[in-house]
Amino acid sequence: MLRVSGGQVESLFDLGLPVEVRELPADLAGLDVLLGDLALFAPVERAWEQTALGHGRPTVPIDRVVRLMVIKQRSGWGYETLVREVSDSLHLRRFCRIALTERVPDESTIRKLVRRLGAEVIEEICRAVITTATTGERRFVARAARIDSTVIEADVRYPTDLGLAADATHMLAREAANAAALAGADAPRVQDRSRAVARRLRRLNRTLAARTGQGKPTALRLTGEAGQLVERSMRQARRVAEHLRRRARGRGAQAKLVAARRIEQLADRASVVAQQIRQRLAGQKITNRLVSLADPDARPIRKGKLRQPTEFGYVVQLAELCENTRRGARGLIVPAATQIGSPNEPDLLPTTAAELRRLNLRPRELALDGGFFPIGVAEDLPGPERVFIAGRQSAGSKRTNRRLARFRVGCEGRISHLKRRYGLKRSRLKGHHGARTWTAWAILAYNLDTRHPKRLTASKPAPHPSATNSNGRAPHPSAAVLIPNRLSGASS
């Protein structure tokens, strides 16, 4: 049974707490106001199975799960650390609507609910936040937009052919061993050849460390031997899967079919690893390379960075809409566009443009990276009055082009901000759908921080006329706040 809200949080124990404990800090208080609107969680009710809406065991309240995940994305904690810190903090308990007499949901419960909600539901909540911000009394006016792409790393280690071969042999043997009780005593077995592959990996490392000049021939020979071991394990695993399908009769038939599908899925991925090894030995080009058996959707992506020439993960395109193009402008980010592989900027632009049209957002100015083409931008985004593409000639004045160029560069800083502050550097969820879900949670947390009531009402204070530095410039805004108070105190 779906529960959207958990109901009353205060109890008699709260009466004995000091006022400072009962009041939330400023940042959490603003987020609490935004998340207090239960209309934000309407997409959850629409996506939930109709047969399970009013039947079965009650779920953890959805507003509580969303608040926990917002804390997680803002803090960078893991699931276990999140549960431990929220359990130990009175402020976080009150923000997450968890009473002092209640237990914090287990970390496995939060993980399962995150996977069940998926990317589509969280993106709908992001759209609801943006729609609420762009309508109403003090609405957000999207006057300018900047679009750029970045790579979200998959949660994998650096891939090598020998490493993938070791993973394939080990995972096939482990999956077959897990299904041994279902397969019966007369079922074929899968030999664990991961130790044999690991010996070849260590031999290659010793050869490379010796600097004998035989590193490449030795690497090709040992990689070919590892590929043969993968093919043997793959053939044995397919025989086990076939045996499970033949025994799928009567009680336990469904469990045997599920085990057979898991083994077949791993065998298919292992066959891709073996095929890549054969292509490497033959000197053929490998396209759509598999880099991880646990995350088969991740792909190698080359962006030309000196620090990290090749990244492994997913390309996402982020569009930030701001009310102005001044320095430090902060806006709202629409749900990201992404594809499996290494798409170019124009490949993702139609999805971003469709998102803007869906939200009825029409920015007057558009600042883009140099990877976009003017013709494609005009077809997908025909509305803006001015379009600036880095490195290409624009129709505006020099002053306007410099202003939009500075505004576009700010997108690089925004991407860095999202990676450092909201966990967008590496997706901890597997697969392309997991990366979409992880990105949606990061964007949701960022948009909620952007729509913080205190951030909206705060205005930059004007410096006192006599308040200047030794070089004649006005001091930093943080110092300008203190100067009037000091002067007024002296006059009294």
Determine the distance from the C-alpha atom of residue 401 to the mean position of all C-alpha atoms in its chain, rounded to a whole number.
33
Phi-psi label, residue 190: left if phi above 0, alpha if psi -120 to 50, beta otherwise: beta
Question: Environment class of residue 51 by beta-carbon count within 10 Å: exposed (0-12), middle (13-18) or buried (19+)?
Answer: exposed
Residue type, 256: K
Neighbours of 167 (CB within 10 A): 21
Measured CA to CA, the distance from residue 246 to residue 237 in angstroms comes to 14
Measured CA to CA, the distance from residue 462 to residue 161 in angstroms comes to 61
pLDDT number for residue 88:
92
Residue indicated by tokens 């505006």: 396
- Where is average pLDDT lowest: 134-138, 311-315, 402-406? 134-138
The greatest distance separating any two alpha carbons of the chain, rounded to the nearest whole angstrom, comes to 96
Determine the distance from the C-alpha atom of residue 478 to the mean position of all C-alpha atoms in its chain, rounded to a whole number.
34
Q: What is the pLDDT of residues 219-258, one digit of tens each?
A: 999 999 999 999 999 999 999 999 999 999 888 899 999 9
String of DSSP letters for 28-55: HHHHHHHHT-GGGGHHHHHHS-GGGSSS
pLDDT exceeds cutoff 90 at 456: no
Measured CA to CA, the distance from residue 462 to residue 464 in angstroms comes to 7
Do the Cβ atoms of 271 and 263 come closer than 8 Å? no
pLDDT number for residue 54:
78
Residues 6+ apart with CB under 8 A from 71: 77, 82, 86, 92, 95, 96
Proportion of the chain above pLDDT 90, given as a percent: 66
Q: Mean pLDDT over residues 28-41, rounded?
A: 90
Q: What is the pLDDT of residues 39-63, one digit of tens each?
A: 899 999 888 887 677 778 888 999 9
Do the Cβ atoms of 267 and 233 come closer than 8 Å? no
Q: What tokens does 100 get?
A: 């002092």
Q: Mean pLDDT over residues 441-459, rounded?
A: 78
pLDDT exceeds cutoff 80 at 14: no
Q: What tokens does 356 get?
A: 């803007």
State the average pLDDT for the chain. 87
Do the Cβ atoms of 291 and 298 come closer than 8 Å? yes
Q: Which residue from 150, 124, 129, 30 is spatially nearest to 414, judged by alpha carbons?
A: 150
Q: Which residue from 111, 31, 117 is spatially nearest to 74, judged by alpha carbons?
A: 31
Q: Helix crossing, 194-210 with 161-178: angle to 10°?
A: 160
Residue indicated by tokens 């948009």: 447
Q: Mean pLDDT over residues 119-143, rounded?
A: 90
Q: Which residue from 300, 301, 298, 244 is spatially nearest to 267, judged by alpha carbons?
A: 244
- Alpha-helical runs (H) found in 99-193: 107-133, 161-178, 180-183
pLDDT exceeds cutoff 50 at 73: yes
Measured CA to CA, the distance from residue 356 to residue 353 in angstroms comes to 5
Q: What is the pTM of this model?
A: 0.86
Q: Mean pLDDT over residues 9-32, rounded?
A: 83
What distance, in Å, lies between the first and last C-alpha atoms of the chain?
A: 64
Neighbours of 9 (CB within 10 A): 17
